[in-house]
Structures are given as C-alpha cells and as structure tokens.
Structure 1
C-alpha cells in the first residue's frame, strides 16, 4: 500500500507541475511577454535546446548519405564560385564580412571556416540541401543543382586553410574558369525527366514563395491575402481567366506568367521546369 500511495503522490505531483508549466507557457504566449523582436536573442536555455535538437536531427537524417570524391581541383573551383555567390552574404569568408542581412538575422549565421570541425561532409550536404526552418537558412536544393551542393561542401573542407589573400585568389581563379557561367538552377536548366511528383510539388510551392501571396490547402504558412486562394484549383475551368485548366497550361502559367498575361501582378519566379511540373501536379489535386 505504501508503494501505491507513493506512486499516486508522485503522479499527482508530476501532473500538477506539468499543468502549472503548461499554464505558465500559455500565459507567457497570451500576454506577449516573450520578446520576438530581432534585436533580442532567445533565452539561452531556449537557444541551447534548439541548437542541440538541430544537431541531433541533422546527424540522424544524414547518416546514410553517400559522399562523392571531394578533392577534385575543378570541383573546388566550382565550389568557390558558388560559395561566393550564395553563402558569403550571410556567413562571410576569410577577410570578407557578412552582408547586412546576414549580420541582422536571428539566430546569427556563423562563419563557415570551422564547419568541417563540427560536421561531416554528408551532414553539411544535408544542411545545405534542406536548410533549417525558422533560421533563415534556405533549402538550396531549390536553387542549386545537386552537384553544385557537393561542390560547395568540397570547398568548405578547404576553407579553414585559407587566409584572406588566398581566398581572394581562389575567387579570381574561379571567375577565370567559369567566365560568365552562373551558379544555380533556373528555368533554363534541363528537366531531369522524372514524372511529376505532387508530394514534392507541395514543398516546392513553399520554397518558391507561393505561400507569401496565396493560401494553399495543405501548405503551412501565415495567412496570405495578396493573391487569390488556390483551393479547388483542380476544379477550375480557366487559369487566371486566360488558359484552359490543363497540367501543361498550369506549368506554363507557373513559369511564364508575364508571357501568358502581360502586366499581371504575379511575378515570374524563375521556377525550373521539373519544379513547375511538381507544383502543377499538387495544385491539380485540390478539389
């Protein structure tokens, strides 16, 4: 009986403490006491908890990724060019400061000169490819080709060995090699030829900023009232009052809005063909 009573006391005490914690958290949220401004960091326990959860999540999800050879000099030069074009504005480089946006983000994106000390190449690949929610770190799989992501990872392995002068020389060599070529996917990138994937299309709708203007069922985001909601798009007769609602026309509209309807408020977002096909596949399921 003593054990039973002790168990009941412990359980009741734990329940009361849990309810008190939940009530305190609810009160904290409701009263607006917690400061969400970008001028104040998270409380250290919050920051430490989120950082630990992030580290464990990345290591778990990257554990089975196969790493390609990363020492090829051409790969390093391509990675240097991509790093300068896509990473420096937030993370800086040897002798190069972060841009104003990078210095203003919370949590602050740190320098990558020591990244290889904390992350394996496959983990860096996962981080670059998938991004980190609520940090400002984008999922670069929607902006860079997969080989380019590995190029960046390869260059990050070499970054700790460079001083400011050497980093500058790498950039000059990279520009000489690439000429006018750019780093990143675009609507001109050939489609890989895979079938449209509605699941991936739902992700692409968010990654290409469609949810900043449109409410889209099944795609999480803040309420958006700039553009029309896209619910029941699959049942509509016309797209934007102009095109017959077919998968091909929906892809055309996503990629070339200004060609289809000159002067429309919807901008062209340089969506690659495969992403447009995936997005159209998801939107067509909305009935």
Structure 2
C-alpha cells in the first residue's frame, strides 16, 4: 500500500515538475520571440542572465580542462609572452597601470579584469580559455593563431601580472619594446615557422574538421553560406557549399585545389577589385579549408 502511494506521489511530482519547466520555457521563448528582452549593450544583462552565462562558462571549462600543466617558469613570458599580450590581449583586459581600450569598456559582458582572472583561475583553466575562447563573450580562440608554446607563455605572464606594480610593468614593457624593434623581422619569421610546424604536426585525418573550425575562426560564414557552420541570415558573397565544382573562382582562376588555396590566402593578388580581403590565412589553414570544401561539395 505504502509503495503504491509513493509511486503515485512520484508521478505527481514529476508531472508537476514537467509543467513548471514547460511554463518557464514558454516564458523564456515569449521574452525572446516578442522582443521583450532588450539586447542593447547599454542596458547590460539582467542579473539572472549574467549569472546563468557565468555558471555555464565555469562549468563548461571545468568539464573540459586538462589539469596537466608544464613548469611555467620555463616559458619566455618576459619577452614573447608580453609581446603577444600587448598585441592581442591588453586592448580588452588592460595591465598594471594600463587601461583597456575604450571600445572594450562597452562590451557586454565586459572583459574580465586580468588580476581577478589570474587569481581565480588555475593555469590549466587559463590555457583552455585562451586556446578555445568563450562564445558570447568577445573572447576569441587563439588555437589557430598562436603556437602551444606561445599559449603557455601567455598563461605564465597572466599568473605573474598581479604581482607586478605599475612601474615594474612599464619597465618590462619598455625593455621588451626596445628589443622587439631590433629583432622584429627575425621574430616574425620564427613565429610563422613555428605556427606552420605546429599545425602541420596534426594528423591528416583531423584536417577536415580543422578546416571547418578554421573557416569559423577566419569568420568566413559572415559573408558566405557554408554547410555545417551556423551564421547570419544575410550574406554578401556566394554560397560555398559547391564551390569546388564551379569552373572558375571569382570568374578569374580555373577551379583547382591549388588555386583555391592560393585564392583563400590572398584574393586581391588575383583580383585586385575583389571585395574579398586578404585575411592573412596561413597555407596549412587554407589547405584544411579546401579539404572541407571538397568534403561538403555535391558529387558531380
């Protein structure tokens, strides 16, 4: 008798819970569908939305992070790490005594204060975020632009930043700037070689997937419809789903694998009047993109 009562109570509980969840989903859908929720960055997120996004970010990173961390003292954070931080990170996150750029102050959600991030997050978590980026936050993924060593250099620097005074950071930055002025050409060549070697080390079997991700990272879907990549509804360029079966690329080059690679790397070189800009796509990334274009193409 008691068991029967418990079963009935459990059924009622789950039914009630289902109704409540359905009502919550209906309310959220209505807020979005009828434009009730204001997406203006001037108003900011409501506290529930902000907390939801923050919790989702924390849980997602914790579920995927690799806790194996190398010795951070072995990485050149004073020079290479600082160079990349000033080139890619300081505009949004600032530094000791250095304010972020004005555009980042209006981002929503705002970029995290670097001192807080360094104190709250482990090196493994910082590495994952820098490598993979965070959706809906403005934080880009640097996996396709920096080597693994450069990523760890940034992690090492971020962990040190909270310990630096304004004067110490300024002195380190000035010293680094002076050295970079002398070695800039050589450094750029070394960076390009390192990135190329790192990317080419990937197994060939992963290239198709990497091509899809590369197209996302170079923002190809902002102008083109591409199978497998979600994007905005309106595009200024032609769809790429059957690009490899067209006779010519932009009416200029015969469509071959090599020509597609060359076109992706530098469109204005082949067609100066083209609206497609030079995105500085590295060759190994262009090769991966073309592999993906062949994968999604219709068979002739």
Q: Which string of whole-angstrom CA distances, capped at 9 and with x for unpartnered residues, describes residues 16-40 of structure 1?
A: 2222222212211121111111112
Which residue number corresponds to residue 64 of structure 2? 61
Q: Which string of whole-angstrom CA distances, capped at 9 and with x for unpartnered residues, describes residues 55-92 of structure 1?
A: 1221221224x323322474422211211111110011
TM score, norm. by length of structure 1: 0.91
For residue 277 of structure 1, the aligned residue among 275, 282, 287 is 287
For residue 181 of structure 1, the aligned residue among 175, 181, 184 is 184
SS in 2 for 1:40: coil
Which residue number corresponds to residue 11 of structure 1? 14
Deviation at 1:265, TM superposition (A): 0.8
In 2, the alpha carbon distance for the partners of 1:185 and 1:200 equals 24
Runs of 4+ deviating beyond 6 Å: 182-187
CA RMSD of aligned residues (A): 2.3
For residue 151 of structure 2, the aligned residue among 149, 152, 158 is 149
Deviation at 1:125, TM superposition (A): 1.0
For residue 135 of structure 1, the aligned residue among 137, 140, 151 is 137
In 2, the alpha carbon distance for the partners of 1:185 and 1:211 equals 30
SS in 2 for 1:284: helix
Matched, 1:90 2:100: no
Deviation at 1:8, TM superposition (A): 3.5
Matched, 1:229 2:239: yes
* Closer/same/farther in 2, CA of residues 19 and 114 from structure 1, 3 Å limit: closer
Deviates more, 1:68-77 or 1:38-47: 68-77
Q: Which string of whole-angstrom CA distances, capped at 9 and with x for unpartnered residues, describes residues 146-178 of structure 1?
A: 222111111112111111111111101212332
Q: Pick the structure with more helix per residue.
A: 2
Is there any run of 5+ residues in structure 2 with no aligned partner, and where? none
In 2, the alpha carbon distance for the partners of 1:70 and 1:9 equals 55
Deviation at 1:187, TM superposition (A): 10
Deviation at 1:188, TM superposition (A): 5.2
Q: How many residues are paired up?
A: 286
Deviation at 1:212, TM superposition (A): 1.1
SS in 1 for 2:8: helix
Is there any run of 5+ residues in structure 1 with no aligned partner, and where? none
Matched, 1:47 2:50: yes
Q: Is the 8 A contact 1:211 1:224 kept in 2?
A: no
Which residue number corresponds to residue 28 of structure 2? 25
